[in-house]
Structure 1
Amino acid sequence: MKEFRTYKRSVRERRAFLRFLAFSLSGVLLFVILPFFDVFGRSFTTAVTGRFNGIQNYKTIFNNQAFLLAVKNTLRFTGVCIPLLTITGLLIAVPLSRRKDAGVIKSLYLFPLAMPTATVVIVWKLFFYKQGFLNLYLSRLGEWTGLWGEVHTDYLGGGAAFWVLVFSYIWKNTGYTVVLWLAGILGIPNALLEAAKVDGATGPQCFFRIVLPNLKGSLYTIVILSFLNSFKIYREAYLVAGAYPAKDIYLLQHLFNNWFVNMEFDKMAAAAICVGGFLFLVIMLLQYFWDKKEG
């Protein structure tokens, strides 16, 4: 009898769990999974007639110079930004975790996330254009020191545009990175640190041997979120430089936008499948190495 009651309770719990997930799973199925399979099917057909043409769309995009340039720039942007963002957030979070007013300061770091993208872009334009505040300041500084003349560098039209975009990404996303690092740091039991100090461990030793090893979970979350967010920088780049920006900041999102405007849906579908597969593969690899280290 007792086993029967236990079985009935487990069945009720299982049904409650399924009912709880039903709405979210149906939304994912309707708005994510089914559209993905539709795009996957379209990647093997022509855009106008819908005729099946095999892997021709994939051959076309991998022979497309704009696609190769966008892939290179996007990977470069991701490779530069993720380490910078991760390290910057950690360097801010460690001293911040020792302050009593950490909550107020944390809110200030989250402020960029609340600012509309259009407002941020206007500020960047005022600051980085040829006649912007940065060139004006540098010109005045050169005039005052006598080391150089007037400066008219176009930071948004050349190679410097890439670093302007990197700065924009770091500035906007540092806040949530700091919050995630803080959550991990504050979750470390004080007893571990106090015991280490009693045993004579110095501050750097406590950090590298106790704090960092206990932040692996936070590191994994931050890397995944930063990796995904690095593919969403398009709004800033588009509003600053338009659909055809400087060569160094021509990203995959620009390419998708231009193909969409030109109704080249076959190429866009094939490229979307490739990008989605790449993101999935990277996340699975990160999960594999994470599980391997945990084991």
Structure 2
Amino acid sequence: MSPALPVRRGLLYVTLAATAWGTAGAAASVLYDRTGLGPFALTFWRSVGGCALLLAARAVLGATRPRRPGARTLLIGLGLTAFQTAYFMAVATTGLAVATVVTLGSGPVLIALGERLWTGERIGRGGAWGVTAALAGLAVIVLGGGGDTTVRPGGVALALASGAGYAAVTLLTRHAARRGQAEDPASASLWSFAVCAAVVLPLAAAEGPLPRHDTLTVALPLLLYVAAVPTALAYGLYFAGAAVLLPATVSVIALIEPVSATAVAIGVLGERPAPATVLGTAILLAAVAGMGAAETRRPSAATAVE
């Protein structure tokens, strides 16, 4: 990653990553229902596929061999493991909508608390309003989204664990950039996926690592998509953007994920949104736009380090 990545480009990268992430949960729901794969197996194949695609891209582009990961990179990999695995488990337990909203909705709060405790940094009045507005938008979406939404305490706990993993990854990435120690986004993604695959392999083996043989025509394209778009591509963009943005801003922009998940449900599954869904989405996007505007008036991480 160029240390002089402009803030506007960082905003774009995180926005694209969050939009891509919103499709992963929908793909997971289809895989659970039609192929027999479970959360651990899906996390394993997602990570292995992401590694393979990034290695292939490096070979084609003639990139240098990634250096060995340090302790921070390994911690980011563990945080990514918690983020992905707990999220897919929450989707299986309490459904796509609740899992996505709780995971991403808890992100701004956990990140703000972590940043305050770790570095003492305040998000400011504008940041606080942005976080509050984003959470309000999510509350409107969930509470007014229809009577068929099922909320299970175990699934909510898993989603909160996923949110904690996401917060840890965001804070560690930002902290590394501040100290001038940020890795190339592709290398950071590669090592993070490798750590994740190694951790969940025994669990995936115990769960059943392979889809049913009669569902391969459904499973293989979806697994390839999940590995390519919301994994290899999205996490590379995320690590690049998160290094130059405030953690609270990253967490609010990532709330686009529930919006993109809703768009997939409408455009692909034919669902019709309730009025509350439209209103909550509008509030959420307004919060994202406000946080993004505030970021463009702030010096980049590279400037701050220099």
What's the TM-score, normalizing by structure 1? Answer: 0.28
Larger Rg: 1
Report the TM-score, using the length of structure 2 for normalisation: 0.27
Higher relative contact order (CA 8 A, sep 6+): 2
